[in-house]
Amino acid sequence: MKDWAFGQLHLACYDQAKQLVLGTGMMGDNILTHFLSSFIAGGCATFLCQPLDVLKTRLMNSKGEYTGVTHCLRETAKLGPLAFYKGLVPAGIRLIPHTVLTFIFLEQLKKYFGIRVIS
């Protein structure tokens, strides 16, 4: 989930967050808008991907205690809904700054070099 799909999720969250921020009419298309939009996108993407990351980590660290993904899913669900969000804060601390820097650089490249982004 961390590679292609996670990148696509970042893009979708960023585009929606930017439209939301610009739609308020309180901010123009500037670096503060890009910062706020990418911060929101990083938080959303982290929140949405965390359950799959928890399952992946549990499966990777298990020593044959799960028969498959569905078994791991059922066993994790028995621990309660918050079990799927274990490690959410450290994941956010790692991914949100990455997302902010990525999209600020992208917007600056688009602004100063006329780079078109195909989405």
- Under DSSP, the state recorded for 63 is S
* Contact between 53 and 84 (Cβ < 8 Å): no
Domain assignment of residue 118, yes or no: no
Q: Is the Cβ–Cβ distance between 110 and 48 less than 8 Å?
A: no
Provide the pLDDT confidence category of residue 8 given band limits of 50, 70 and 90. confident
Is 60 exceeded by the pLDDT of residue 45?
yes
Its pTM stands at 0.82
Concatenating the DSSP letter of every residue in 68-95 gives SHHHHHHHHHTT-GGGGGTTHHHHHHHH
> What is the crossing angle of helices 31-61 and 88-113, to 10°?
140
Average per-residue pLDDT for the chain = 90
Containing domain of residue 90, as a range?
A: 4-113
Q: Is the pLDDT of residue 1 over 70?
A: no
**Phi then psi for 38, rounded to 5 degrees?**
-70, -30
Mean pLDDT, range 28-37, rounded to an integer:
94
Within a domain: residue 119?
no
Tally of domains within the chain:
1
Q: Is residue 18 part of a domain?
A: yes
Asked whether residue 61 is domain-assigned, the answer is: yes
Q: Evaluate whether residue 85 is within a structural domain.
A: yes
